[in-house]
Chain A
Amino acid sequence: MNIDWEVLQPIFWQSLWETLQMVVVTLVVGGFFGLVIGVLLYTTRGGGILANRWVYTVLNVLVNFVRPIPFIIFIVAIGPLTLGVIGTTIGTKAAIFALIIAASFGISRIVEQNLVAVDPGVVEAAQAMGAGPLRIITRVLLPEALGPLILGYTFVFIAVVDMTAVAGSVGGGGLGNFAIVYGYQRFNWVVTWIAVAAIIVLVQAAQFFGNWLAAKALNRR
C-alpha cells in the first residue's frame, strides 16, 4: 500500500478546513434559525406568552415533517431547491445549504425542550412585573435555560460533524469526502483512519469546551 503524503497532506488540511467551515457556518446560521423556531414553538403553544394556535401548528408539523428524514436522503431530496438557491448541488456551499435547513429544525426541538424545562413560575413572575414577551424571551427564558442550551448546542455540534461526513459522501467536500475518495475508494484504510482520528479530536474538543462552558453557566446559581 503506497501512500503519497506529499500529495495527501494538503488535501487533508483542505478537507479539515472545509469540515470546520461547514460545521461553524451551520452551527451559527442553523443555530440562530433553530433558536428562533424553538422559541416560537415554546411561546406560541397553548398557554404560552405568545399563544397562537396557527403558528404553533404550522411550525410543529413542519418540524415533525423534516426532522425524521435521514440526512443522506434529505440532502439529495432537496437537490432541486439547492440548485435553485446555490446554483449547484456539489461542493461545500451546497452542503452548507442543506446542513443549515436540517440543523435548524433539529435544533429547534432541542431549544424547545430546554425552554419547557424552565420553571413556568419564573415566567409568570416576569409577566406579573409587567415584562413584555420580547423581554421575557431574552432576559428570562434564554438566560434561565443557558446551561442546558449550551449542552444542547454541543450535542448539535457533534451531530453536525456527523452530517458533514454524510454530505461529503455525496459530493459535499470535507473530511467525509476525504475518507471516501482517498481512503475507501482506494482501499487505503490508513487514510480513512486519519479522517476518523481528525473527527474524534474535533468532537472531543467540542464536547470538552461545551461541558466547560455549561458548567460555568450552571455554577453561577
Chain B
Amino acid sequence: MAPIVEFIDVSKTYPVRGDTGAFEALSGITLAVEAGTISAVIGGSGAGKSTLVRMINALERPSSGRVLVEGADITTLRPKQVRELRTRIGMVFQQFNLLSSRTVYGNIGFALESAGVARAAHRDRIAELLHFVGLAEKAWAYPGELSGGQKQRVGIARALAANPRILLADEATSALDPQTTNDVLRLLKKVNEELGITVVVITHEMDVVRKIADRVAVLDRGRLIEEGSVYDIFAEPRTELTASFVATAMHNTPSVEDAAALSGSYPGRLVAVGVGDRRRIGAVLAEAVRATDVGFEFAYGGISALGGRSVGSLTLELTGPDAQVDAVIAALREHTSVAEL
C-alpha cells in the first residue's frame, strides 16, 4: 500500500531580514508515513519538526521538493482544494487553541461548520465526539472553565469532528502534567486503534515516542538524521543525538558524573551494554566466567519492554586480565552495542 503521507526531497528556506543569505529550516527530507500508524517526529527546538508536519495540511509550503498526501501533491492544490484537504486532516496544538468565546459545543460546532457539515447533524455528532473523548458533561462549559487535560480532549474532539484520515498532534502534551499527559496519550492511541486514523505526533520528549509511537523520525537542525521503528531506534540509536534522546526516556545509562562516581566503587572496566531480545548477553557472560578469569558485576542500568520486546542497557564492571576482558568485549560486540565508560 502506498504511504498516506510522503515527503520527497523537501526543503524549506526562509529569507533572513537584512541578510543576503537564507535560513534553511528543512533540507532534503525524504520520509514516508504509512497509513494506520502512529508516527512521531522528534527533535530539539528549531529542529524543523513543526515546519515539516505543517506541510501535511499545507499550513507551510516547501521551498523545493514534493509533499504527497493520499497521493495528491499539496504544492499544486488551489486554495479551495487546500481547504477541502484540511477538513480531512485534524490537528491538535500544544496550547489547545480553542475559541474562548465559544462553549465546548460551539468549538466542535465550528469544526463541523468549517467542514460543511449540515447544522442538523451537529447535535448528534458533537454528543458522539464528546462521549468518545470522555467529556459528555462539559458540552456547555467555556474553555476558560476547563483544566488543561480537558481542553486538550476538546481539541481532540474538534480535530476528529469531520472524520479525518490523519490527525496531527503538535506537542499535544507538552503543556500538561505527567498524569494528564498519559491520559491524553492514551486517548491518541485510542483514536489510532479504534478509528484507524493515522496519527503524526510532533514532540521533543522521547517518553511520548516510547509510549505511543510505532515509528519515529529524528530531526536535527532541519535534517533527518534517523528514522525507523521505535524499537530499533531505542535498541540501537545510530547517532549521538538520538542516543541522548533515548537516554532521557530510559534513564538506563549513567551520566558522565554518575560514571565518574561509579568508577570509585567499581575498579574494573565499566562498559554499557545494550540489552534487547535475542541478544544473548547472558550467554556470552556465562561463557566468559566458565572459560576465562574474567568476572563481572552489574553497576547501573534498566530494561523495559517496547511492543512486547525488551530493550534497555546495563552497565557492567568487567574484572580480570586486560587481554581476556578485551576478548569478552569483542564477543559482546558480536551481539550488541558496547560502550566503554
Contacts and interface: CB of A to CB of B under 8 A. Distances in A.
A189 to B, nearest CB: 49
A215 to B, nearest CB: 14
Interface string A164-184: 000000000000000000000
Contact of A125 (B91, B113, B161): B91
Most-contacted residue by chain A among B100, B158, B161, B162 (CB, 10 A): B100
B312 to A, nearest CB: 38
A90 interface: no
A135 B111 CA distance: 11
Interface stretch (A11-19, A140-148, A193-201): A140-148
Interface stretch (A31-39, A92-100, A116-124): A116-124
Interface string A87-130: 00000000000000000000000000000000101101111111
B101 A128 contact: no
Interface in B37-75: 57, 59
B101 A144 contact: yes
A130 B57 CA distance: 9
B86 A122 contact: no
B144 A135 contact: no
B98 interface: yes
Contacts of A124: 59, 93, 97
Contact of A129 (B95, B101, B114): B114
Chain A's interface size range is 20 to 34
A80 interface: no
B115 interface: yes
A143 B109 CA distance: 15
A165 B98 CA distance: 44
B143 interface: yes
A122 B59 contact: no
Contacts of B114: 126, 129-131, 135
A143 B101 CA distance: 6
A124 B158 CA distance: 14
B115 A129 contact: yes
A66 B158 CA distance: 44
A212 B87 CA distance: 38
A121 B95 contact: yes
B142 A129 contact: no
A179 B90 CA distance: 62
A125 B113 CA distance: 14
Interface string B183-196: 00000000000000
Contacts of B90: 128
A122 B158 contact: no
Contacts of A127: 59, 86
Contacts of B161: 129
Contact of A221 (B111, B143, B168): B143
A119 B98 CA distance: 10
A126 B85 CA distance: 13
Interface in B132-148: 142-144
B287 interface: no
B158 A129 contact: yes
A139 B114 CA distance: 10
A73 B101 CA distance: 41
A221 B142 contact: yes
A45 to B, nearest CB: 15
A132 interface: yes
Contacts of A132: 83
Contact of A131 (B59, B83, B85, B143): B83
A138 B143 CA distance: 20
A202 B177 CA distance: 51
- Listed residue (B86, B99, B161) with the most chain A CB atoms within 10 angstroms of its CB: B99
Nearest to B102: A143
Given A119-B97, A139-B110, A221-B144, A129 B86 contact: yes
Interface in B96-154: 97-102, 110-111, 113-115, 142-144
B89 to A, nearest CB: 7
Contacts of A217: 101
Nearest to B168: A128
Contacts of B97: 119, 121-122, 124-125
B334 interface: no
A122 B95 CA distance: 9
A111 B168 CA distance: 33
Given A139-B110, A139-B113, A220-B142, A128 B57 contact: yes
A9 to B, nearest CB: 46
Contact of A144 (B83, B85, B95, B100): B100
10 contacts: A119-B97, A122-B100, A128-B59, A129-B114, A129-B162, A130-B86, A131-B110, A131-B113, A131-B114, A139-B113
Interface of A: 119, 121-122, 124-132, 135, 139-140, 143-144, 146, 217, 220-221
Given A125-B97, A128-B168, 5 more contacts: A122-B99, A124-B93, A125-B93, A130-B84, A130-B162
Enumerate the 9 nearest inter-chain pairs by beta-carbon distance, A residue then B residue, closest first. Answer: A130-B86, A125-B97, A130-B87, A121-B97, A131-B114, A128-B91, A221-B144, A143-B101, A221-B100
